[in-house]
C-alpha cells in the first residue's frame, strides 16, 4: 500500500496521532529492552493484511469454516518454515502469545494439580512458569530452582537435587532474565532420571537458537515453546515445536483447549519472519547481537558497573546498579530521560522489592537491528555510566540526550518510513 493510500485511509485522527508518536519514539530512542525488537516492514504488512478478516478454527485441511483454502496455504508455509528453521518434526504456529504457547504445552503434558519445577521468577524466570496469579500458579503446584549466590549461574547438580527431591511431572527450562547458556542435555537427563517431561521455553533466545548461536533444545525437550517477537524478530505471538505424536496433544490443548480462531494475519507475519530467519543475513545479525552484548557488558564493567554473573553468553545482561546508590527503578527513569529505554529488574538474591529492584536488564537485539555495532558499545556504556553517576544532572542529561539523538538519526529503523 502506498503512503498516499495509507494517508487517505487515516480518518481516525486521535488513533493515528498515537501510532505516529510511537513510530517517532522508536526512531528517537535506543531500545535496550531485551524482549523487544523492530520487525521488518514485510512482517508488519502481513499483519495489516485482509487475513485479519478470516475465521479459521481448526488446522489446515480440517477447519470448522469454509473459505479456508488460502489461509491453509499461509499456515502450512509458516509451519513448514518453523520445522525447517528449528529442525523439528512438528510445529504449531497458532499461539496468540508466549503465555498461550506455554498453556498449551503444559496442558498437553499434564493435568491440573501436577508439579512443575521451574526457574524462580526472582532469579530470572517468567510469570507463565509459576507466578501465583498466573494460570500456572493457580492450577499447578509450583516448585522452583534458582541460581547460585556466588556464581549467579544455574548449577545443574543443584537442579538435579531439587528435581529428585520434589519429583516434578514437568521440568521447565527457560528464562526472561538469564544471560548464560542453558544446558539442555543436562536438563533432559535430569527430567529422564526423575520421570518428568522436559518443557523448554526459549522465548528470549529463539533467534539465537535459529542461528545456532545458542545450542538448540530441539531433540532434548519433549516440547519447546517460544515467542516470535523477541530475538526472532517477527510479529507478537507464540510457537510450539515437538515430535509429531506430542503435537497432536498440543494441537487440541491449544484449540479448542485455550484458544478460539487463530489470528491468520499474525500467522502470515510469522511465516514472513521465519523466511527472513532462514537467510544468511539473519545468522549474521544474531552473531552481532551476541558480540554487541558481550562488548556492552565488558564496557559497563570497565566503567565500574557490576554485571550479574560477570558477563553474558547471549543477547542480554543484568546490571547491578547498587554501586551508584540508585534503585533499578531510578536507573530506568534516569536512562529514560536521555532516550535510552530499558527496564528495572530484580537481581538474584535482591534485597529490594520488585517494583524498586537493584538492577536493570539490557539487551542488544533492537539496537543491533538498527545497525549499531561493537564500536558503538563503548559510547553507549559511557552514556549509561555518566547518567547513572549523576542522575537528573541537567548538563549531563542534555549532553547525553543530544548525543543519543544524533546516533539514532544516523541509524534509522525504517529509512523509508514505517
Ligand atoms: C521466557 C518467556 N516466556 C514467555 C513469555 C511470554 O510471552 P507473551 O508476553 O507473548 O505472553 C515471555 C515474555 O516476556 C518470556 O520472557
Among candidates 15, 76, 32, 92, which has minimal Cα distance to 293? 32
pLDDT at 9: 79
Pocket test for ligand 1, best of 98, 116, 200 (most atoms within 8 A of CB): 98
State how far the Cα of 163 lies from the Cα of 19, in Å rounded to an integer.
47
| Confidence label for 1 from pLDDT (cuts 50, 70 and 90) | low
Q: Which of 119, 120, 121, 128 to mutate to test the pocket of ligand 1 (most atoms within 8 A of CB)?
A: 128
Please list the active-site residues: 55, 57, 201, 227, 230, 236
C-beta 134 within 6 A of ligand 1: no
Q: Where are the domains of the chain?
A: 45-278, 282-410
How many other CB atoms are there within 10 angstroms of residue 50's CB atom? 10
Cβ-contact 335, 342 below 8 angstroms: yes
Matching CATH number, 282-410, of 3.40.50.300, 3.90.1150.10, 3.30.750.200, 3.30.413.10: 3.90.1150.10
Q: Is 126 in the pocket of ligand 1 (CB under 6 A)?
A: yes
DSSP 80-135: HHHHHHHT-SEEE---SSHHHHHHHHHHHH--TT-EEEEE-GGGT--GGGT-TTSH
Q: Does ligand 1 come within 6 angstroms of the Cβ of 203?
A: yes
With cut-offs at 50, 70 and 90, classify the pLDDT of residue 5. low
Distance 207 CA to ligand 1 centre (A): 14
Does the fold of domain 282-410 match that of domain 45-278? Answer: no
Assign 317 a pLDDT band (cuts: 50, 70, 90).
Answer: very high
**β-pair type (58-59, 62-63):** antiparallel
Residue identified by cell 528435581 is 163
Residue nearest to atom 16 of ligand 1 (CA): 176
CA 97 – ligand 1 centroid, Å: 7
Is the predicted pLDDT of residue 31 greater than 90, yes or no? yes
Using one digit for the tens of pLDDT, what is the confidence trace for 164-173? 999 999 999 9
Q: Contact 33/363 with Cβ under 8 angstroms?
A: yes
Which phi and psi (to 5°) does residue 304 adopt?
90, 10
- pLDDT tens digits for 260-277? 999 999 999 999 999 999
Dump pLDDT digits (tens) for 233-258.
Answer: 999 999 999 999 999 999 999 999 99
Averaged pLDDT, 282-296:
98
Q: What is the CATH number of domain 45-278?
A: 3.40.640.10
Amino acid at each position: 500500500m502506498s503512503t498516499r493510500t495509507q494517508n487517505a485511509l487515516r480518518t481516525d485522527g486521535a488513533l493515528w496521532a498515537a501510532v505516529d508518536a510511537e513510530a517517532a519514539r522508536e526512531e528517537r530512542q535506543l531500545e535496550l529492552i531485551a524482549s523487544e525488537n523492530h520487525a521488518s516492514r514485510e512482517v508488519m504488512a502481513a499483519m495489516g493484511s485482509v487475513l485479519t478478516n478470516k475465521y479459521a478454527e481448526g488446522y489446515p485441511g480440517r477447519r470448522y469454516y469454509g473459505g479456508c483454502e488460502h489461509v491453509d496455504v499461509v499456515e502450512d508455509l509458516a509451519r513448514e518454515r518453523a520445522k525447517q528453521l528449528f529442525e523439528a518434526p512438528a510445529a504449531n504456529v497458532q499461539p496468540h502469545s508466549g503465555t498461550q504457547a506455554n498453556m498449551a504445552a503444559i496442558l498437553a503434558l499434564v493435568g491440573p494439580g501436577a508439579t512443575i519445577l521451574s526457574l524462580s521468577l526472582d532469579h530470572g524466570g517468567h510469570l507463565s512458569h509459576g507466578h501465583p496469579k498466573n494460570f500456572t500458579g493457580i492450577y499447578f503446584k509450583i516448585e522452583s530452582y534458582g541460581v547460585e549466590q556466588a556464581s549467579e549461574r544455574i548449577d545443574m547438580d543443584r537442579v538435579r537435587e531439587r528435581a529428585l527431591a520434589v519429583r516434578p511431572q514437568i521440568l521447565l527450562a527457560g528464562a526472561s532474565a538469564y544471560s548464560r547458556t542453558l544446558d539442555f542435555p543436562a536438563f533432559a537427563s535430569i527430567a529422564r532420571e526423575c520421570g518428568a517431561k522436559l518443557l523448554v521455553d526459549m522465548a528470549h533466545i529463539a533467534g539465537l537458537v535459529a542461528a545456532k548461536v545458542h545450542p538448540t533444545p530441539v531433540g532434548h525437550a519433549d516440547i519447546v515453546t517460544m515467542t516470535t517477537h523477541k530475538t526472532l524478530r517477527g510479529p507478537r505471538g507464540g510457537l510450539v515445536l515437538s515430535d509429531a505424536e506430542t503435537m497432536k496433544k498440543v494441537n487440541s490443548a491449544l484449540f479448542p483447549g485455550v484458544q478460539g480462531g487463530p489470528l491468520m494475519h499474525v500467522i502470515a507475519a510469522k511465516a514472513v519472519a521465519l523466511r527472513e530467519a532462514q537467510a544468511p543475513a539473519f545468522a549474521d545479525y544474531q552473531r552481532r547481537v551476541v558480540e554487541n552484548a558481550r562488548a556492552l557488558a565488558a564496557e559497563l564493567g570497565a566503567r565500574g558497573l557490576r554485571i550479574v554473573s560477570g558477563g553474558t553468553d547471549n543477547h542480554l545482561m543484568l546490571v547491578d546498579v547498587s554501586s551508584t546508590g540508585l534503585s533499578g527503578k531510578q536507573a530506568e527513569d534516569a536512562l529514560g530521560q536521555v532516550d535510552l529505554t530499558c527496564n528495572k529488574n530484580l537481581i538474584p538474591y535482591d534485597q529490594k522489592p520488585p517494583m524498586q529492584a537493584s538492577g536493570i536488564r539490557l539487551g542488544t537485539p533492537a539496537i543491533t537491528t538498527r545497525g549499531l555495532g561493537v564500536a558503538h558499545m563503548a559510547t553507549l556504556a559511557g552514556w549509561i555510566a555518566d547518567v547513572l553517576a549523576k542522575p537528573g544532572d541537567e548538563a549531563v542529561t542534555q549532553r547525553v540526550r543530544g548525543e543519543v539523538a544524533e546516533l539514532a538519526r544516523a541509524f534509522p529503523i525504517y529509512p523509508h518510513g514505517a
